[in-house]
Structures are given as structure tokens and as C-alpha cells.
Amino acid sequence: MKPQERSGQRNAAGKESSPLGPVGVFDSGIGGLTVVAALRHLLPNEDVFYLGDTARVPYGGKSRATIERYSVEISNLLLAEHAKIIVVACSTSSALALSCLRELLPVPVIGVVEAGAVAAVRASHDKRIGVIGTKATVSSGAYKQAIQEICTKAYVVSRACPLLVPLVEEGMFEDEITHLALKRYLEPLLRSNIDTLVLGCTHYPLLYRAIQQAVGPRIVVVNSGRNCALAVKKVLTSSGMAQELHSGELRVALTDFPEGFLRVAEQTLGLKIKAIEMLKSAGVAANVNRSRQHRN
């Protein structure tokens, strides 16, 4: 049996995963909330536990080894909360750490790259597809590989957009600087005559209006959040772990509390958050503190 297909086993925290456990979701920051919003809409009966590693955002400029380590640390914290499935709502972690997580974790692991690739191929008429993402995601070639595994004749052109995640984290969705950055990043893709653009980072759907304005109405902009949620629903249903007679709740935990987090979650995405928990894991806290000391 493949690691991602196991269920009802003792997890890395020494606790038993259960069909009654939450859907565990993680990202480096605010962006993964776009996936949470899709999950809450599609799976209203499921409890969702969202963990944002906001103290170490962004992941996109870090090495594969660091991204894998961060992803394993955060996933183990979700397992400690009895998560029955892990949703990697971070394109960078999906691109560079998904295979590692599937090998190590005793529960199903769903990433956003595969979902985005499927949606892009379905949406593209000419099979000329653009991808924007973090440096690490683009350098990995994960989206191109996933798209061309589905459609070998697809032409895929990618562009790293390192400024977009910080702009989203600052809540600058319609700022002049954001529009200028998008224009600079997207012009080379437009010259390649793409007909579909994949938002290869879960932060980017928060810039959807600005991105659609920049590329024009002819180009289909693909947000993999809903497709990721559909993949989660399929796994839970087929494995008998789906909740039916239950009113799902959302819990949120962060490694740091950035300004604007609640505003984005509640006003922009319509999520209802009762409280935000701050992580007190010794292992993650130590690594976060080292990161802060290095930056200072």
C-alpha cells in the first residue's frame, strides 16, 4: 500500500488518525486560506485545521532541504491534532516536498500542483499554458512536468514572481506597485501567446482581479484551490472518511500573527474565525527564533 493511501494508523506524533479528525491544511502564510475557503464551500461538514507558518514566510526563496524540513515539521503538528488528511496548500511545498511527505506521513497527502495541472489542461484550448509561481516552484519544473504528463503536446512557459507573496502578505491587492509588478512579470508570458495562466502559488488568487485585468479577458486564469478541494473530497469519500452528519468548524493556528491576517480571512475570503491559536511547539519555535536572529 502506498503511504498516501494509509488510514487509521498511528501518526508521527504517536496518536491515532481517525475519520472524525480534521482536514489538516498548511501554507507558509495567508495564501493557503484560498484553499481553505474552497474546502469550506465544498465540504461544509468537515472540520478544518489550518496552520500558517507565518513566521517563516515566504518559502519560495529557500532551498529544497529547508522547504522539506519546514513541511515535515508543520505536517507533524497537524498530525498531533489528529488530522486524517494533509492538504499542502503551498505550491512551493507541493512542488518540492510532496513526495517526501507522502513517504513519511501515515495519512493521505494532497498537493495543489497536480490539481492545478489538471485544471489548466482542461481549460486550455490551444494547450499554450503559462505558469507563475515562486522561484523555488518555477525552478523545480513541477507544474510543467505535471501538465505535460497529462498532455504531452502542451507548451508550458513559466515565470517566477518573487515580489507577489510579500505584496499579498501586506494586503496590497490593488496597489499601484502590485499592478506594475504584474505587468513586468506577465509581459513575457503574453508574448508567448498563452491562452491559459496557472496561478502557481496559493497567495496569487488574492490578486485575481489585478491578474485578470493584466492578462485580459482572452486568457483563462486557473486557480487550483477548488480543484484541490475536489481531490480532497474524492479521497475522503472513497476511503470512507468523509463526515456527513456534522457541522464543520474551522480552527486556525499560526507561528506568528501578521497584521491584516484576519481582514484577509474574514473580509476578503468570507471565512469565520473564532480565534487564532499561536503555536508553542518547541521544535518549530526554535527554528523560527533562529530564522529571526539570522534576519536581524
Phi/psi at 84 (5° precision): -90, -10
Is position 90 annotated as part of the catalytic site?
A: yes
- The letter for the amino acid at 2 is K
Distance CA(284)–CA(55), nearest Å, equals 10
User: Grid coordinates 496569487 are at which residue?
Assistant: 204
Q: Which of 90, 100, 161, 228 is catalytic?
A: 90
Out of 100, 161, 201, 228, the active site residue is: 201
- What residue ranges in 58-166 does DSSP mark as E strands? 85-88, 109-111, 128-133, 155-160
Report how far residue 14's alpha carbon sits from residue 156's, in angstroms, rounded to the nearest whole number.
43
Query: Half-sphere exposure of 22 toward its Cβ, with a 13 Å CA cutoff?
Result: 23
Cα 198 from Cα 204, distance rounded (Å)? 10
Sign of the four-CA dihedral 105, 106, 111, 114? positive
Q: Which residues are catalytic?
A: 90, 201
